[in-house]
Chain A
Amino acid sequence: MDILSILVNVAVSFLSTFGYCIIFNIPKRQLVFCGLLGIVSWMIYYTMTYFSLSEVLATFAATCAIVLLSRVLSKLRKCPVTIFIIPGIIPIIPGSLLYYTAYNFFTGDMDACGRYGFLTIKIIFAIVFAIIVVFAIPMKRKKKSKT
């Protein structure tokens, strides 16, 4: 992992998340934070898979980090938590695996199709469990000042 590829990955993960946020009309003042979340999730995933840890584990770790950060940010920036989770998760959603599954399905390589298909399903389950687990962690709620 050289410094150039790290820089390129940071840049493109920021830009892709940023663009995705604009498509879904995320408020302007949150855009930079969303981009930063994209960097966090992609760099966790990228580093863990680079050191040959499994994709499923990497996805789980990245999603946990994202959901945790999103919850903190949504408290700090007084904003629905969904606004931060969606852009944070989008780099690690298995779009590439979906393509390889479909490609091998349609070109008739059923072995590869099954392999990619099951990996896709496993990764989606990793995302699902990470979201559920981190949302189950209780967080202190700020008491509303009664006026």
Chain B
Amino acid sequence: MENDLSIRVIDLASKAGRLLLESGSDITRVEDTISHILAAFDIRDYDLYTLTNGIFLSSLNKSKEGKSDYTRINTIPSQATNLGRIDAINTLSRDIADGKCTIDEAEQRLEKIQNAPPMKPIIRLLATALASGAFCIMFGGNLIDGLVCAAIGFLYYIVAIRFEKTQLSKLLTTGVCGVIFATLAILSFHFGLCQNLDKVIIGDIMPLIPGLSTVNAVRDIAAGDYLSGAVRIIDALVITVGIAVGVGVSIIVFTSLGLI
């Protein structure tokens, strides 16, 4: 019976950690959450090792019958940023640590968090349009540039959302996104829809910028998780290079066609 409970707790903790990593959390938060959950159910004898794409959690259970080991290894192949989920799991782990939650409740709540419906694509598209239009004006474009930029942001993000479900390299997907929005921006500039080509492209770059990877890289490295930090830096670099190449290729093509 005792043994059974500890297995459930370890399953719960490693699942919480996996969901956190999938949603784009930093390593320290994952390890804190797992150890808080384990401590709340009085599991002290364990080892935990976390990487950007894996959690290794092993505990030693001593009982009258002898020692028994229980190990969970989670691999996290892909990540999709979902800060709302991180917040929800944070609240859950806070409640567990304060003893407000039994194991049954905790399992149910985690299940609910996992199965929470994803945001409707149309809302994300509208948000992207809003963000890119506002960024365009913020960096010095005028109102018409902002509107064109918002329209382009709406269009190219349709493709970006499609790409999220595939396992293609991020270098390729961001590159293709870059080609799409740069092409649309150059064409609208050529036909006189907008006046500042650079501002329109910048506005559309901003939603793709790897802000989360950068911040996580810094925090992981500051916390001493150099390996995970390096992985995040490479992730951010790959996305940045993808955007730059995508935009650059379209600029070269359209310059040689004489459209800019």
Contact = CB atoms under 8 A, between A and B. Distances in A.
A99 B138 contact: no
Interface stretch (B46-54, B104-112, B187-195, B201-209): B201-209
A95 B135 contact: yes
Interface in B120-161: 123-124, 127-135, 137-139, 146
Contacts of A127: 214, 218
A80 interface: yes
B90 interface: yes
Contacts, number: 160
A105 B71 CA distance: 50
Contacts of B91: 78
B72 interface: no
A30 B90 CA distance: 14
A103 B198 contact: yes
B87 A27 contact: yes
Contact of B211 (A13, A80, A90): A90
B138 A106 contact: no
Interface in A1-55: 8-9, 12-13, 15-27, 30, 42
A62 to B, nearest CB: 14
A26 B139 contact: no
A99 B247 contact: yes
B247 to A, nearest CB: 6
Interface residues of B, number: 58
Given A12-B134, A101-B244, A147-B98, A96 B139 contact: yes
A135 interface: yes
B235 to A, nearest CB: 14
Given A95-B209, A131-B215, A147 B99 contact: yes
A85 B211 CA distance: 10
Contact of B202 (A85, A91, A95, A145): A95
A73 interface: no
Contacts of A65: none
A131 B81 CA distance: 20
Given A27-B87, A82-B26, A102-B247, A22 B124 contact: yes
Given A13-B138, A15-B134, A96-B139, A24 B212 contact: yes
B10 interface: no
A129 to B, nearest CB: 9
B251 A106 contact: yes
A25 B83 contact: yes
8 contacts: A9-B138, A15-B131, A15-B134, A18-B130, A23-B124, A42-B138, A80-B25, A107-B255
Interface of B: 25-26, 29, 81-88, 90-91, 94, 97-99, 119, 123-124, 127-135, 137-139, 146, 198, 201-202, 205-207, 209, 211-212, 214-216, 218-219, 222, 240, 243-245, 247-249, 251-252, 255
Interface of A: 8-9, 12-13, 15-27, 30, 42, 78-80, 82-83, 85-86, 89-91, 93, 95-96, 98-103, 105-107, 124, 127-128, 131-132, 135, 144-145, 147
